[in-house]
Amino acid sequence: MKNQLEFDVIIIGSGVGGSTFADYLTNEHKNLKIAILESGPHRSKENFNNNEITSTALYYNSGAVLSKNLQIGVAAANTLGGGSAVYTGVSFRPPKSVLNVWRDDFGLDFLTNDYVSKSLDAIEADLSVHELPSDWDNQNNQLFQAGAERLSIPVKRLKINTKNCQQLSSCNFGCQSGAKQGALEVQIPRLLKRGVQFFCNTEVISVAENTVNVIVKEAPQNTIKNNIDNGNYQFKSKKIIIAAGVLNTPVILLKSAKALRLKNKNIGRYITLHPVFNINGVFSKNISNNTGFPKTVYTDYFSDSDGFFLETSFYSLGITAKNNPGYGELHQEVMKDYKKMMSILILAHDKAEFKNSISINKKGERILNYTLSNQSKKSLVKALQESAKLFFAAGCEKTFLPASKKAPLLKRDVNEIDTLISEKYLNLNKTPISSAHPQGGSRMGVDASNSVCDIYGKVHGTKSIYVCDASLFPTSVKVNPYETIMLLAKWVAENMFK
Ligand SMILES: Cc1cc2nc3c(=O)[nH]c(=O)nc-3n(C[C@H](O)[C@H](O)[C@H](O)COP(=O)(O)OP(=O)(O)OC[C@H]3O[C@@H](n4cnc5c(N)ncnc54)[C@H](O)[C@@H]3O)c2cc1C
C-alpha cells in the first residue's frame, strides 16, 4: 500500500494558473484542506543570483524543450511559482477580437466585457500593473522608438507588474529584489498564511478520479527541503486541478486516459507557441540595454495585417549568442559587437492546428510536435524585414538576421531589404526560433468535439478532474498571456463549489 494523504482540493503546479486558482478559492472557502504539488524545487528570491549559467536550473531542459523536428525550443519554468518566477512581467489584457472567437466558436459566454474588465481591474490592482515612466527607457528602448518614429510606426508603452523595481534586468533569472509581483511575492505568501500545504519536488505522474499518483524526490542543493520523505505516494482528494502548464498538463491527462476512460482525441492538440525571433542590430557605439527596465515599448501596428508584434527586449550574453545566426568565425564576429547591440523581440501569432501537439511515447516521455505553418513563416519573414528597416532607421550599422541572403546586412542595403530577406533563405534547421508562451492542449469549450475541458475547467467526461492553466486557451491569445491565464483561473475557482 502506498503512502496516502487526503485533501479536499489538490492543485498540481504552483505557476500562474495554479497559484491564482488557489488564491481565489481560499479567499472564498476558508475551511478547505488544500495541497499544492509542485515538481520544481522550493526557491525564493534568496536563491536567485542573476547568473545566467546557474539560472538555467530554473527551467525545464536548461531553457529549451525542443520540438521533435528541432525547429523550435520552448522555455518553461520548473520551480516554485512556475513561469511567474522567471517571466518579465509584461502585462496585457486579452484582445477583444480573441475573446469574440472564444465566445462565438467555443461557447465561453462568461467572458463578457463586464466580467473581463472588472476581473482584470482587480487582478492588475493586486499585482501593481503599471506603465513605466519614460525616464526608465534605456538606450535600447529609446532607439526602438526613434527608429519606429522615422518609419511612422506607432509605438505603445508596455505595462509591467513590479513594485520598487531595482532595475537589475534579471527578470528571467528570478527577481532577486522581489519586485516582480509573481506568485512568489503575491499569492504564495497568502496561501501559506491561509494554511495551504505545499509539497515541492513532488512530481505528479498520473491521476484517476479522486486520486493523484506522485513521486517525491530529493530537494536539489541549496533549496528548501521537503516536509515529507522521498518516495511514491497516492494522495486522495475530492477535486483535482491540473495546472502543470502546456508542456505537462496534457502529459498527465494522456497518462491518465485509461484510468479516467478518456477517449477525447483533442487531448494535447491545438498547441500554439507564439514563435519568437530575438534579433539584434549593431549600433556604432556601446549602448545601454541593461539599465532601466529591459522592455518598455512595443508596436502592434502589424498585428492585424501581418500577424506579429514587435517588442523591445534585453537579453543576456548567452541568450544573445544562442539567438544570433551563424557558426564559428561568423558567430564570433557577431558576438564581438555584443555591447553595441539593440534588440527586438518578434512575436508571431500562430494558428491553433490539430497536428501541433503534445503526445507521449511508449516510455511515457513527452514529445512536442510542432511545425511552423506557411502563414507563420510569412509573418516571421515580414517581421524580420520590418525589424531590419527599424534597426537602420534607428541608426544601426549592420544586422545579422535569419532568412537573409547576406550576413551581415549593411546600412546601404536598406532599399533592398524586402528581396534580401526572404522565405527562400529561411532554413528552419539553422534558425534559432524560440517560444516562451505555449498555449492550448486542453482547450476549454462547451463542445467536447473541439475541446478537452468544459467552460468550468472540468475535463469532459470526468467527475473530479479540472485543468487551470494556459493549456485551456482555445486559440492563441496573441499577446503575452499571464493576465488571461489569471482571468480563467479566477473563473474556474469562483465556480468550483457552486
Ligand atoms: C522567460 C519567460 C518570460 C516570460 N515573460 C512573460 C511576460 O512578460 N508576460 C507574460 O504574460 N507571460 C510571460 N511568460 C509566459 C508565462 O510565464 C506563462 O505563460 C505562464 O507562466 C504559464 O502559466 P501556467 O499556469 O500555464 O504554467 P506555469 O506557470 O509554467 O506553471 C506550471 C507549474 O507546474 C509545475 N509542474 C509541471 N509538471 C508537473 C507535475 N507533473 N507535477 C507537479 N508539478 C508540475 C511546473 O514546475 C510549474 O511550476 C514568460 C515565460 C518565460 C519562460
Q: For the chain, what are the domain ranges?
A: 3-58+76-128+171-267+439-495, 134-162+275-435
* Cell numbers 508542456: residue: 247
Q: What is the CATH number of domain 134-162+275-435?
A: 3.30.410
Cα–Cα distance for residue pair 236/221, rounded to 1 Å: 30
If you average pLDDT over residues 345-353, what whole number do you get?
A: 98
β-pair type (65-66, 409-410): unpaired
β-pair type (202-208, 197-199): unpaired
**Does 82 contact ligand 1 (Cβ within 6 A)?**
yes
Question: Is the per-residue pLDDT at 79 higher than 90?
Answer: yes
Which long-range CB contacts under 8 A does 177-182 form with residues at least 24 apart? 177/45, 178/45, 180/84, 180/87, 180/89, 181/89, 181/126, 181/127, 181/128, 181/129, 182/16, 182/81, 182/84, 182/85, 182/87, 182/89
Q: Answer yes or no: are the C-beta atoms of 370 and 363 closer than 8 Å.
A: no
If you average pLDDT over residues 113-133, what whole number do you get?
A: 97
If you average pLDDT over residues 127-155, what whole number do you get?
A: 96
Tell me the percentage of the chain whose pLDDT exceeds 90. Answer: 90
**Does 25 contact ligand 1 (Cβ within 6 A)?**
no
**Does 24 contact ligand 1 (Cβ within 6 A)?**
no
**Does 314 contact ligand 1 (Cβ within 6 A)?**
no
Ligand 1 geometric centre to CA of 415 (Å): 41
pLDDT of residue 1: 42
Question: Is the per-residue pLDDT at 290 higher than 90?
Answer: no
**β partners of residue 347:** 276, 309
Q: How confident is the model at residue 2 (pLDDT cuts 50, 70, 90)?
A: low
Ligand 1 geometric centre to CA of 127 (Å): 17
* Ramachandran region, residue 435 (left: φ > 0; alpha: ψ -120 to 50; beta: rest): beta
pLDDT of residue 307: 98
271 CB burial (10 A radius; 0-12, 13-18, 19+)? buried
Which pLDDT tens digit goes with each residue over 238-276?
Answer: 999 999 999 999 999 999 999 999 999 999 999 999 999
Cα–Cα distance for residue pair 396/409, rounded to 1 Å: 10
Question: Is the per-residue pLDDT at 323 higher than 50?
Answer: yes
Which pLDDT tens digit goes with each residue over 395-411?
Answer: 999 999 999 999 999 99
Ligand 1 geometric centre to CA of 172 (Å): 12
Cα–Cα distance for residue pair 179/136, rounded to 1 Å: 15
> To which H or E segment does residue 487 belong?
helix 482-495
Q: Answer yes or no: are the C-beta atoms of 158 and 296 closer than 8 Å.
A: yes
Over the chain, what is the mean pLDDT? 96
* Cell numbers 517581421: residue: 383
pLDDT of residue 227: 83
Q: Answer yes or no: are the C-beta atoms of 170 and 50 closer than 8 Å.
A: yes
Cα–Cα distance for residue pair 365/251, rounded to 1 Å: 8
Ligand 1 geometric centre to CA of 79 (Å): 9
Which pLDDT tens digit goes with each residue over 42-70?
Answer: 999 999 998 999 999 999 999 999 999 99
- Residue 477's Cβ-side half-sphere holds a number of Cα atoms within 13 Å equal to 25
Ligand 1 geometric centre to CA of 339 (Å): 30
Q: Answer yes or no: are the C-beta atoms of 225 and 218 closer than 8 Å.
A: no
In degrees rounded to 5, what are phi and psi of residue 419?
Answer: -100, -30
If you average pLDDT over residues 77-103, what whole number do you get?
A: 98
**Smallest Cα–Cα separation from 205: which of 356, 79, 363, 85?**
363
Question: Is the per-residue pLDDT at 444 higher than 90?
Answer: yes
Q: Is the C-alpha dihedral spanning 483, 485, 491, 493 positive or negative?
A: negative
Q: Tally Cβ neighbours within 10 Å of residue 26.
A: 21
Ligand 1 geometric centre to CA of 437 (Å): 8
Ligand 1 geometric centre to CA of 495 (Å): 23
Torsion of Cα atoms, 369 then 374 then 377 then 379, to 10°? -120
SS3 state of residue 77: strand
If you average pLDDT over residues 135-140, what whole number do you get?
A: 93
If you average pLDDT over residues 327-355, what whole number do you get?
A: 94
Which ligand 1 atom minimizes the distance to the CA of 480?
11
pTM beyond 0.95, yes or no: yes
The class (CATH top level) of 3-58+76-128+171-267+439-495 is alpha beta
Q: How confident is the model at residue 315 (pLDDT cuts 50, 70, 90)?
A: confident
Mutation probe of ligand 1 site: the residue of 19, 84, 87, 175 with most atoms within 8 A of C-beta: 87
**Does 89 contact ligand 1 (Cβ within 6 A)?**
yes
**Smallest Cα–Cα separation from 425: which of 392, 369, 380, 390?**
380
Which pLDDT tens digit goes with each residue over 198-223?
Answer: 999 999 999 999 999 999 999 999 89
Which ligand 1 atom minimizes the distance to the CA of 249?
38
Tell me the percentage of the chain whose pLDDT exceeds 70. Answer: 100
Q: How confident is the model at residue 357 (pLDDT cuts 50, 70, 90)?
A: very high
